[in-house]
């Protein structure tokens, strides 16, 4: 039996995504654009496809319209295939009058949709993480170890450990104890043998990645019978299962980051500009799939480029772009300098008539104007930034929420569709 018939994936869309605001003010977290041309949800879906897992449900409840549209326009399989990527939006039913209350509750409320599909295992993934993993290896480890539940784990250091669920294992990699987000004063009791390579890097703690494989019958029993009131996997289901079932750790040592807030999102995008980025977009065996847009190639004139990723369809006349990611259909005017920025681009091109009409109304065209200076910024989709605009992000700026932009951790986030007049300064 092929892996595609043994396992079915459920991708959790997350909550309201308030820590990623304002990027999540009009879209769900999995729909946030990443790397200039993808959406966050493309990452877990692509990992599944590359692992020969072709049956996926994406569970959402907040701002899901753009996510639904993206998935409908992107993931179309052969009419002769059993493959699918389906959206399961939170819905009120006679049995469940409430919206999703947490990760476990979301899966519980969606279990009835799994009914028609045979599978021995259920893979549960997060929709807001950046990584490339072969789930075949995790499933094989699950089978070989005789586990009933497997948790993908990653070694982390002292600084990151309090942000995760930390666990300890025995010699057979079964999890013996688990603590959710431990305080620094108890961390010393939670060190693990993560292997010489990881220990040399100071990564002595095993953290849960929020990636689980359950034996399907056990999952149904846990959610419907044993813990019908539990709402969260990490806080309730997993800790309660460790003493009663075989819960195995599958240690992963590749690149993985949780896109939980603006800073981690910004860092993950700019890391893609490295000479050899940890998240490799250029690997034939680990392709990231997304919507095929049929855009023209990027056109660049008179621009000095340094460590920059540029998506298709851009028209760039900037003076200098450095350490930045430039998204689809971006337009950047003459004499502008972009340093350490993520420009998301736009959803459409303006015609010559549109540009003329904008000029007559005194509205900047979509894109970035002439002689601008942008540093440490995220420019959301469809923004209009006039000429001589200066935005210099950094730790000297206090956190603030303005009508047109937000500042978080020194990063200036210009809101989707914002219009910044010529001469605007932050």
Q: What is the 3-state secondary structure (H, E, C) of 208-232?
A: EEEEEEEEHHHHHHHHHHHCCCCCC
Structure-block tokens of residue 127: 């929709």
Q: What is the pLDDT of residue 78?
A: 81
| 101 occurs within a structural domain | yes
Please indicate, yes or no, whether residues 252 and 332 belong to a single structural domain of this protein.
no
Distance of CA 48 to the CA centre of its chain: 14
* pLDDT > 70 in the chain, percent: 95
pTM across the whole model:
0.93
Q: What is the pLDDT of residue 107?
A: 87
Which of 238, 271, 304 represents a domain boundary (last residue)? 271
CA-based torsion, 142, 144, 147, 148: positive or negative: positive
Distance of CA 123 to the CA centre of its chain: 17
Please indicate, yes or no, whether residues 74 and 211 belong to a single structural domain of this protein.
yes
Domain, as residue range, for 297: 293-420
pLDDT at 99 over 70: no
Please indicate, yes or no, whether residues 168 and 297 belong to a single structural domain of this protein.
no
| 40 occurs within a structural domain | yes
C-alpha atoms less than 13 angstroms from C-alpha of 17 in its C-beta half-sphere: 30
Please indicate, yes or no, whether residues 71 and 216 belong to a single structural domain of this protein.
yes
SS3 assignment, position 341: strand
The Cα–Cα gap between 16 and 167 comes to 27
| 9 occurs within a structural domain | yes
How many helices (H) and strands (E) in the chain?
10, 27
Question: Which of 14-23, 50-59, 359-368 shows the lowest per-residue confidence on average (mean pLDDT)?
Answer: 14-23
Please indicate, yes or no, whether residues 67 and 201 belong to a single structural domain of this protein.
yes
The Cα–Cα gap between 237 and 298 comes to 49
Please indicate, yes or no, whether residues 252 and 298 belong to a single structural domain of this protein.
no
For residue 341, the cross-strand partners are 377
For residue 174, the cross-strand partners are 248
* Structure confidence by residue, pLDDT tens digits, 215-243: 999 999 999 999 888 888 888 899 899 98
Residue with tokens 């079964």: 174
Q: Are 367 and 332 in contact (CB under 8 A)?
A: yes
CATH number of the domain enclosing 351: 2.160.10.10
* Structure confidence by residue, pLDDT tens digits, 351-395: 999 999 999 999 999 999 999 999 999 999 999 999 999 999 999
Dihedral (C-alpha) 359, 364, 366, 368: value to the nearest 10 degrees?
130
**Higher per-residue pLDDT: 113 or 296:** 296
DSSP characters for 342-399?
EE---SSPPPHHHHHHHHHHTPPPSEE-TT-EEEEEEE-TT-EE-TT-EEE-STTSPP
Please indicate, yes or no, whether residues 198 and 320 belong to a single structural domain of this protein.
no
Q: Which of 15-24, 175-184, 324-333 has the highest mean pLDDT?
A: 324-333
In the chain, how many domains are there?
Answer: 2
CATH number of the domain enclosing 135: 3.90.550.10
Q: Are 47 and 76 in contact (CB under 8 A)?
A: no
């Amino acid at each position: 039996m092929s892996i595609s018939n043994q396992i079915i994936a459920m991708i959790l869309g997350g909550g309201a995504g308030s820590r990623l605001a304002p990027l999540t003010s009009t879209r769900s977290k999995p729909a946030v654009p990443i790397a200039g041309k993808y959406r966050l949800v493309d990452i877990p879906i692509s990992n599944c496809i590359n692992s020969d897992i072709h049956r996926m449900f994406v569970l959402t409840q907040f701002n899901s319209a753009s996510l639904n549209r993206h998935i409908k326009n992107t993931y179309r399989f052969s009419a002769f295939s059993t493959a699918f990527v389906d959206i399961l939006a939170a819905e009120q039913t006679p049995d469940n009058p409430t919206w999703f209350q947490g990760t476990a509750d979301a899966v519980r409320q969606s279990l009835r949709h799994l009914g028609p599909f045979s599978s021995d295992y259920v893979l549960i993934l997060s929709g807001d993480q950046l990584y490339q993993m072969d789930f075949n290896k995790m499933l094989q480890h699950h089978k070989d170890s005789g586990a009933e539940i497997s948790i993908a784990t990653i070694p982390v250091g002292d600084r990151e450990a309090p942000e995760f669920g930390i666990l300890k294992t025995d010699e057979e990699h079964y999890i013996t104890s688990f603590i959710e987000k431990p305080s620094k004063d108890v961390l010393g009791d939670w060190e693990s043998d993560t292997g010489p390579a990881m220990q040399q890097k100071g990564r002595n703690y095993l953290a849960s990645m929020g990636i689980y494989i359950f034996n399907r019958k056990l999952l149904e029993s846990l959610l419907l019978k044993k813990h019908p009131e539990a709402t969260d996997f990490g806080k309730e289901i997993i800790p309660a299962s460790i003493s009663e079932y075989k819960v195995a750790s599958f240690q992963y040592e590749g690149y993985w980051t949780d896109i939980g807030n603006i800073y981690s999102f910004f860092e993950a995008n700019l890391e893609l500009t490295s000479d050899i980025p940890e998240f490799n977009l250029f690997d034939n065996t680990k392709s990231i799939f997304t919507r095929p847009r049929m855009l023209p190639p990027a056109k660049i004139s008179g621009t000095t480029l340094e460590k920059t990723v540029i998506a298709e369809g851009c028209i760039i006349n900037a003076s200098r772009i450095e350490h930045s990611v430039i998204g689809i259909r971006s337009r950047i005017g003459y004499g502008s300098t972009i340093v350490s920025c993520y420009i998301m681009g736009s959803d459409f091109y303006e015609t010559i008539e549109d540009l003329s009409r904008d000029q007559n109304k005194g509205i900047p065209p979509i894109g970035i104007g002439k002689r601008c200076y942008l540093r440490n910024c995220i420019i959301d989709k469809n923004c209009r930034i006039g000429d001589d605009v200066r935005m210099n992000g950094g730790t000297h700026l206090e956190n603030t929420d303005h009508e047109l932009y937000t500042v978080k951790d020194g990063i200036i986030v210009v809101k989707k569709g914002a219009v910044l007049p010529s001469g605007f300064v932050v």
